A and B are shown apart, each in its own frame.
Chain A
Amino acid sequence: MKTQAEQVVWVQAVSYEDLAFNTGKTIRYQDEEVALFKLRSGKLQAIQNRCPHKEGVLAEGIVCDDHVFCPMHDRKIHLPSGLVQAPDTGCVKTYHTRVDDEGTIYIGFPTSEEMAC
């Protein structure tokens, strides 16, 4: 069985200290754009930076608990799962994150196309 580490490439992003709470950070890597969030709880969440509805920039949304509201048309998206909340439907890609001993955040980009949500 494959482990997670084999399926993704871990890419160094920003330092944990330098990330503001509940404020998205835009991370670009190759063709992908990620919205990285540090929630009030201290947890990190990373999702694809475009709303499935009209491509609103999710890094700019208002963050409440573990949801982000799309700044374009207020779609509510669950950060851990990437699922758009009812009554709307759809989902966005989610990315794994980890922090090393130095406090640097890494984002896991999938090496294959299997990451579809």
Chain B
Amino acid sequence: MTVKKEKLVLVGNGMAGVNAVEHLLKLAPDKYEVTIFGSEPHPNYNRILLSYVLSGDSKVEDIVIHPYEWYATNNITLYTNQTVTSIDTVTQTVTSDKGLTVSYDKLILATGSNPFMIPLPGADKEGVMAYRTIRDCEIMIESAKKYKKAIVIGGGLLGLEAARGFLNLGMKVDVVHIVDTIMERQLDRTASKMLQAALEEQGIHFLLEKQSAEIIGDKRVTGLKFKDGTVAEADLIVMAVGIRPNVALAKEAGVECNPGIIVNDYLQTNVPNVFAVGECAMHRGIAYGLVAPLYEQGAVLAKHLAGVETGPYEGSILYTKLKVSGVDVFSGGQFVDAEGTKAIRIHDEFTGVYKKVVIKENKIIGAVLFGDTADGTRLMQMIREETDISGMSKTSILTDSGGGSGGAASGVADMKNDAIICGCNGVTKGTICSAIRDQGLTTVDEVKNCTTASRSCGGCKPLVSDLLAFTLGDSYDKNAAKETICGCTTHTRDEVVAAIRDKGLSNVREVMNVMAWKNEEGCSKCRPALNYYLGMISPETYKDDSTSRFVNERMHANIQKDGTYSVVPRIYGGVTNPTELKRIAEVAEQFNVPTVKFTGGQRLDLLGVKKEDLTAMWEALDMPSGYAYGKALRTVKTCVGETFCRFGTGDSMAVGIELEKRFERLNTPAKVKLAVSGCPRNCAESGIKDLGVVSVDGGWELYAGGNGGVKVRVGDLLATVKTEQEIIEYTEAYLQYYRETGKYGERTSEWVHRVGIEHVREVVMNEEERKQLCERMDKALSVTQDPWKQAIDSKKIQRDLYEVVEIK
């Protein structure tokens, strides 16, 4: 006889509720038949990471925690885009806005909260919005394409993240805040002012001690007027001034709210069989808006519903980390000085580091860290455990981070198994430790891949590392584990490269055998890296392994999201002629190319080509590959220079063409983009290229390590040279040194930052070293061949890579 399952309905498809259900399913997989309602048209996603989506560091799909398959696999009925509008607590049913009625034995309300919109006059104008959902994020990204100036009302965590996002989207942004310090709920005055200065340097403009009075504009917002009569212009206004528990549904059903849904230590409301968890819930007078407490609540609720014995939820100590802005800020517990408290402070104005620990009765009750937040997790642990510090030296409390192996690891030893280690993904200590034990994990990366802990913001990496040390004991080597090229090996990039050189290793499988790889054929991370290192070390003898190349480099075309490819022929220096253009146009017509577009590097992109058409198309084009897909030289962007420009002093087109012809097809650790500008007006944007060349009075300046991508970095001056021959020579030495010392996948911007521009400069300026680098570069370039031509000439390549077998 089968026992009939109880019906569990969850209202709200957000982080807190779904996390509780996930826990519950692990504890009692067969006890409930679960139905979930969500108002948003998405599966459960990580709202905390929205700021990464806004800043362009992540895509929406990257922040999904539970994809649709998870619901299907766990037999959960999910209704997205459907809002529950009423609860009948007598018949125990809920009804949605689409008219669906579902009955429950147990009901969890996880309705979250709503952004608070200040009821200013004009708040209903177009362009005034909140920042809360994926939809909001999409609107902001969309708006940034059309509009130039944003105002964020609210200088708290969310407001600052939104402001940083707007900067990344290329908008100007003012942050308006009612008091004279930002993030005042998390930071003390010193840290707040340091943060403000750091963010101002990034380009955020602050309007502090400003009270908003009215939103002005006709249909759409044009500005914000303050009580003091001043006005700030804006095409977009985001309110990020706080959230309110969303309790309308609960209230209507007679569930007690004040202002959140009142719950006891087992998350029960005053109505039988109705529970609440998350931002909508009010526990002992506190409604939490951070994820870690919500997961702690969820864990207790799940155990309670599963019928497993559990202690009560007794509240959480809060801590905050600022994300996205590129500034490290941490605060936890009660960090403001008060009567009866003493503080330990370190304030280094040279390096911009500030640390404060607040102590009461020999116990740490709070901390603020700025500039170096490595101590954060350890201090939080001490706060939670109320560690007595009377025996400790006062300075060691702040300087112990990662020092002794015992100190930190013994902290995690005392944590409970259900303590949340990864707040972003809700992974507990118990889950991590059993994964380490049961699956033989030895690195943070492996833990990340198995449990998703530290997969999102990465803030818990030190704790995960401590847990590895705690679980594995002496066999865990923290430092080695950090730098391995992937989870398949315990070796670092440098060790692998040294072994290839010293032992004369000649192919990918040999490296893996000799260096005792854990997986016989490695993975998608190490295979391409090894293939690159081998080719870099022995350019003349190494036979490239196409099965260790990512799709684009194997196919020599860019795969697009629908599985078609895009083709970019080489156009040296971005300079072409009517014959070439005509041919490109004819080929585009011949192969029904749906879209022709200029790329970011001034080349023509033929998009939407079928894989089986690629080689025929290349043959018809009769042009070399533009390598728009490779970890290789992409393009050399140029302005028209002295040939046409009235300001030009250098022949940027000629230099660009020469550079592109010299370095095309060169394999590099990551993609490489060059630019040449004919005068300091720098129309080719040489300052944000891997190597940028700028004509100046009497010569040329070379800028190294610039990047215009996600993390914008302005290049450093590498050298000033006189002749065009010297440009080539210095570029050869610079690129070859990058090839030899860069990690696979590491852009020059990261590489220059890591090894230091002074060091790169020294190497390139040293005549002897430069000469040797140039010689090795010459060897590397002497054996390259155009891959499109190779494919056209080889039936085998066509059959192996481009053939599609159609069976009738």
Contacts and interface: CB of A to CB of B under 8 A. Distances in A.
Interface of A: 11-14, 18, 20-23, 25-29, 40, 52-57, 60-65, 67, 69, 71-74, 76, 84, 86-90
B805 A25 contact: yes
Interface in B763-808: 799-801, 803-807
A60 B73 CA distance: 27
Nearest to B563: A57
A21 B805 contact: no
Contacts of B520: 65
B521 A60 contact: no
B611 interface: yes
B522 interface: yes
Interface stretch (B192-200, B545-553, B728-736): B545-553
Contact of B524 (A23, A29, A74): A74
Contact of A61 (B67, B69, B546, B551): B551
B548 A72 contact: no
Nearest to A57: B563
B559 interface: yes
Contacts of A73: 61-62
A87 B559 contact: no
A115 B554 CA distance: 32
B547 A21 contact: yes
B410 interface: no
A76 B448 CA distance: 14
Nearest to A74: B524
Contacts of A55: 561-563
Contact of B70 (A54, A56, A71, A89): A89
Given A23-B800, A74-B524, A13 B449 contact: no
A56 B527 CA distance: 20
Contacts of A28: 804-807
Contacts of B450: 86-87
A14 B805 CA distance: 8
A64 B449 contact: no
Contact of B800 (A20, A52, A74): A20
A117 B548 CA distance: 29
B805 A13 contact: yes
B475 to A, nearest CB: 23
Nearest to A14: B805
Given A20-B800, A62-B527, A11 B451 contact: no
B628 interface: no
A20 B800 CA distance: 6
B519 interface: yes
A12 B547 contact: no
A98 to B, nearest CB: 15
B555 interface: yes
27 contacts: A12-B807, A14-B805, A20-B800, A20-B801, A23-B801, A26-B611, A26-B805, A28-B804, A40-B521, A55-B563, A56-B563, A60-B554, A61-B551, A62-B524, A62-B528, A62-B547, A62-B549, A63-B547, A64-B524, A65-B520, A65-B521, A67-B523, A72-B561, A86-B449, A87-B452, A89-B73, A90-B67
Contacts of B524: 61-62, 64, 69, 74, 76
A21 B547 CA distance: 8
A37 to B, nearest CB: 11
A19 to B, nearest CB: 8
Given A13-B807, A26-B611, A62-B548, A54 B452 contact: no
A25 B548 CA distance: 16
Nearest to B800: A20
A86 B555 CA distance: 28
Contacts of B523: 62, 64, 67, 69, 76
A65 B519 contact: yes
B520 to A, nearest CB: 6
Contacts of B455: 87
Contacts of B555: 60
A12 B551 CA distance: 27
B67 A53 contact: yes
Contacts of B807: 11-13, 27-29
Of the listed residues B62, B452, B800, B807, the one surrounded by the most CB atoms of chain A closer than 10 A to its CB is: B807
A82 to B, nearest CB: 13
A3 to B, nearest CB: 23
A13 B67 CA distance: 34
B803 A62 contact: no
Interface string B56-70: 000001100001011
Given A23-B546, A26-B804, 14 more contacts: A23-B554, A26-B803, A28-B804, A60-B554, A62-B550, A64-B522, A65-B519, A69-B524, A71-B551, A72-B561, A73-B61, A84-B69, A89-B67, A90-B67
B449 A60 contact: no
A53 B804 CA distance: 23
Contact of A87 (B451, B549, B611, B803): B451
Given A27-B805, A29-B807, A60-B555, A54 B800 contact: no
Interface string B508-522: 000000000001111
B21 to A, nearest CB: 15
Interface in B117-136: none
A87 B449 contact: yes
A71 B550 contact: yes
Q: 8 tightest CB-CB pairs across the interface, nearest first?
A: A69-B524, A71-B551, A90-B69, A20-B800, A60-B551, A64-B521, A22-B547, A29-B807
B559 to A, nearest CB: 6
A5 B655 CA distance: 66
A25 B522 CA distance: 21
Nearest to A54: B61
A18 B550 contact: no
A29 B450 CA distance: 36
Contacts of B69: 52, 84, 89-90
Contacts of B70: 89
Contacts of B806: 28
Interface in B533-568: 546-551, 554-555, 559, 561-563
Nearest to A68: B524
Nearest to A36: B805
Contacts of A27: 804-805, 807
A13 B799 CA distance: 14
A54 B67 CA distance: 11
Nearest to B807: A29
B192 to A, nearest CB: 37
Contacts of A76: 523-524
Nearest to A19: B800
Nearest to B450: A86
A9 B66 CA distance: 36
A51 B527 CA distance: 21
Contacts of A29: 807
A64 B611 contact: no
A18 B803 CA distance: 11
Contacts of B805: 13-14, 25-28
B73 A54 contact: no
Of the listed residues A52, A56, A89, the one surrounded by the most CB atoms of chain B closer than 10 A to its CB is: A89
